[in-house]
Amino acid sequence: MTRRAIYPGSFDPITMGHLDIIERSAKLFDEVIVAVLLNVDKHPMFSTEERVEMIEQAMPCGNARVATFEGLLVHYAVEQGAQVIVRGIRAVSDYEYELQMALMNRRLEPAVETVFLMAAEAYSYLSSRLIKEVFKLGGSITGLVPELVEQRMREKVKGQKGERKRR
Protein backbone atom coordinates (compact mmCIF):
# COMPACT_ATOMS: atom_id res chain seq x y z
CA MET A 1 0.00 0.00 0.00
CA THR A 2 1.24 3.46 -0.86
CA ARG A 3 1.68 5.54 2.32
CA ARG A 4 0.39 8.94 1.30
CA ALA A 5 0.43 12.04 3.51
CA ILE A 6 -1.13 15.45 3.10
CA TYR A 7 0.60 18.53 4.46
CA PRO A 8 -2.02 21.30 4.42
CA GLY A 9 -1.54 25.02 5.01
CA SER A 10 -1.87 28.47 3.59
CA PHE A 11 1.84 28.80 2.72
CA ASP A 12 1.59 32.57 2.20
CA PRO A 13 4.49 32.32 1.46
CA ILE A 14 6.40 29.06 1.93
CA THR A 15 9.22 29.32 4.51
CA MET A 16 12.25 27.23 5.43
CA GLY A 17 10.19 25.90 8.34
CA HIS A 18 7.60 24.50 5.90
CA LEU A 19 10.33 23.04 3.66
CA ASP A 20 11.94 21.38 6.66
CA ILE A 21 8.62 19.70 7.52
CA ILE A 22 8.16 18.62 3.88
CA GLU A 23 11.62 17.02 3.85
CA ARG A 24 10.99 15.17 7.09
CA SER A 25 7.60 13.90 5.89
CA ALA A 26 9.02 12.81 2.53
CA LYS A 27 11.38 10.50 4.42
CA LEU A 28 8.52 8.96 6.38
CA PHE A 29 5.94 8.52 3.61
CA ASP A 30 5.92 7.24 0.02
CA GLU A 31 4.15 10.36 -1.22
CA VAL A 32 3.55 13.79 0.26
CA ILE A 33 0.96 16.18 -1.09
CA VAL A 34 1.58 19.79 -0.06
CA ALA A 35 -1.99 21.10 -0.13
CA VAL A 36 -2.58 24.83 -0.38
CA LEU A 37 -5.87 25.84 1.17
CA LEU A 38 -7.94 28.06 -1.15
CA ASN A 39 -9.63 31.26 0.01
CA VAL A 40 -8.92 31.33 3.73
CA ASP A 41 -7.32 34.70 4.21
CA LYS A 42 -9.22 37.47 2.45
CA HIS A 43 -6.04 39.49 1.96
CA PRO A 44 -3.17 37.12 1.23
CA MET A 45 0.16 38.54 0.10
CA PHE A 46 0.31 36.03 -2.76
CA SER A 47 -2.44 34.55 -4.93
CA THR A 48 -2.95 30.79 -4.80
CA GLU A 49 -1.24 30.43 -8.21
CA GLU A 50 1.80 32.39 -7.00
CA ARG A 51 2.03 30.31 -3.82
CA VAL A 52 1.76 27.05 -5.74
CA GLU A 53 4.44 28.14 -8.21
CA MET A 54 6.86 29.15 -5.44
CA ILE A 55 6.33 25.82 -3.64
CA GLU A 56 6.91 23.93 -6.90
CA GLN A 57 10.18 25.77 -7.47
CA ALA A 58 11.38 25.21 -3.91
CA MET A 59 10.24 21.60 -3.54
CA PRO A 60 13.09 19.67 -1.95
CA CYS A 61 11.99 16.07 -2.63
CA GLY A 62 10.96 14.02 -5.64
CA ASN A 63 8.15 12.27 -3.79
CA ALA A 64 6.44 15.51 -2.75
CA ARG A 65 4.06 17.47 -4.96
CA VAL A 66 1.85 20.49 -4.60
CA ALA A 67 -1.94 20.74 -5.01
CA THR A 68 -4.79 22.98 -3.90
CA PHE A 69 -7.94 22.10 -1.99
CA GLU A 70 -11.03 23.65 -0.48
CA GLY A 71 -13.67 22.40 1.90
CA LEU A 72 -13.06 19.83 4.60
CA LEU A 73 -9.50 18.59 4.80
CA VAL A 74 -10.54 15.05 5.76
CA HIS A 75 -12.77 14.83 2.67
CA TYR A 76 -9.83 15.87 0.55
CA ALA A 77 -7.58 13.32 2.28
CA VAL A 78 -10.01 10.47 1.61
CA GLU A 79 -10.48 11.59 -1.99
CA GLN A 80 -6.70 11.55 -2.47
CA GLY A 81 -6.30 8.16 -0.79
CA ALA A 82 -4.14 9.67 1.99
CA GLN A 83 -4.02 7.96 5.38
CA VAL A 84 -2.12 10.73 7.13
CA ILE A 85 -2.31 14.49 7.73
CA VAL A 86 1.02 16.09 8.62
CA ARG A 87 1.16 19.25 10.73
CA GLY A 88 4.13 21.12 12.08
CA ILE A 89 4.35 22.12 15.73
CA ARG A 90 6.42 25.09 16.81
CA ALA A 91 5.85 26.42 20.31
CA VAL A 92 3.37 25.19 22.90
CA SER A 93 1.05 27.89 21.56
CA ASP A 94 0.46 25.83 18.38
CA TYR A 95 -0.52 22.82 20.42
CA GLU A 96 -4.00 23.75 21.59
CA TYR A 97 -5.35 24.70 18.19
CA GLU A 98 -3.68 21.74 16.51
CA LEU A 99 -5.08 19.33 19.12
CA GLN A 100 -8.61 20.65 18.54
CA MET A 101 -8.26 20.27 14.78
CA ALA A 102 -6.72 16.81 14.99
CA LEU A 103 -9.45 15.53 17.30
CA MET A 104 -12.22 17.07 15.21
CA ASN A 105 -10.72 15.57 12.06
CA ARG A 106 -10.50 12.19 13.77
CA ARG A 107 -14.15 12.41 14.72
CA LEU A 108 -15.10 13.30 11.16
CA GLU A 109 -12.87 10.65 9.61
CA PRO A 110 -11.43 8.05 12.02
CA ALA A 111 -9.37 6.39 9.28
CA VAL A 112 -7.18 9.46 8.79
CA GLU A 113 -4.42 9.93 11.36
CA THR A 114 -2.77 13.29 12.17
CA VAL A 115 0.98 13.25 12.68
CA PHE A 116 2.94 16.15 14.22
CA LEU A 117 6.51 16.95 13.28
CA MET A 118 8.97 19.47 14.65
CA ALA A 119 11.13 21.54 12.32
CA ALA A 120 14.81 22.15 13.06
CA GLU A 121 15.29 24.44 16.06
CA ALA A 122 16.59 27.22 13.86
CA TYR A 123 13.15 27.46 12.21
CA SER A 124 11.02 26.81 15.26
CA TYR A 125 9.98 30.46 15.64
CA LEU A 126 9.21 31.02 11.94
CA SER A 127 5.75 31.76 10.62
CA SER A 128 4.62 33.20 7.30
CA ARG A 129 2.92 36.02 9.20
CA LEU A 130 6.12 36.98 11.02
CA ILE A 131 8.12 36.82 7.78
CA LYS A 132 5.70 39.24 6.11
CA GLU A 133 5.74 41.63 9.07
CA VAL A 134 9.54 41.73 9.34
CA PHE A 135 9.92 42.10 5.59
CA LYS A 136 7.42 44.98 5.33
CA LEU A 137 9.29 46.82 8.08
CA GLY A 138 12.58 46.44 6.23
CA GLY A 139 14.14 43.59 8.23
CA SER A 140 16.23 40.87 6.61
CA ILE A 141 14.54 37.52 5.98
CA THR A 142 17.50 36.01 4.14
CA GLY A 143 17.92 32.33 5.00
CA LEU A 144 14.39 32.10 6.40
CA VAL A 145 12.63 31.71 3.05
CA PRO A 146 13.87 30.32 -0.30
CA GLU A 147 15.70 32.92 -2.41
CA LEU A 148 12.92 32.98 -4.99
CA VAL A 149 10.37 33.84 -2.30
CA GLU A 150 12.47 36.73 -1.05
CA GLN A 151 12.78 37.98 -4.62
CA ARG A 152 9.01 37.71 -5.18
CA MET A 153 8.33 39.55 -1.92
CA ARG A 154 10.60 42.38 -3.03
CA GLU A 155 8.79 42.62 -6.35
CA LYS A 156 5.41 42.57 -4.58
CA VAL A 157 6.28 45.40 -2.23
CA LYS A 158 7.79 47.46 -5.08
CA GLY A 159 4.63 46.94 -7.13
CA GLN A 160 2.44 48.02 -4.22
CA LYS A 161 4.51 51.16 -3.65
CA GLY A 162 4.26 51.99 -7.36
CA GLU A 163 0.51 51.50 -7.23
CA ARG A 164 0.20 53.82 -4.24
CA LYS A 165 2.22 56.53 -6.01
CA ARG A 166 -0.04 56.33 -9.07
CA ARG A 167 -3.20 56.77 -6.97
Residues in touch with ligand ADP (CB under 6 A)? 9-11, 15, 17-18, 21, 87-88, 90, 94, 119, 123-124, 126-129
Whether residue 43 lies in the annotated active site: no
Whether residue 24 lies in the annotated active site: no
d(CA 116, CA 137): 32
Would you say 134 or 158 has its CB closer to ligand ADP?
A: 134
d(CA 21, CA 94): 15
Whether residue 90 lies in the annotated active site: yes
ω into residue 44 within 30 of 0, thus cis? no
- Shortest separation between residue 54's beta carbon and ligand ADP, angstroms: 12
- Shortest separation between residue 10's beta carbon and ligand ADP, angstroms: 4
Given 65, 75, 90, 156, the catalytic residue = 90
Residues 6+ apart with CB under 8 A from 32: 4, 5, 6, 7, 22, 25, 26, 61, 63, 64, 65, 86
Would you say 83 or 127 has its CB closer to ligand ADP?
A: 127
Helix axes 128-136, 147-166, angle to 10 degrees: 50
- Shortest separation between residue 125's beta carbon and ligand ADP, angstroms: 7
Residues assigned a catalytic role: 18, 42, 90, 128
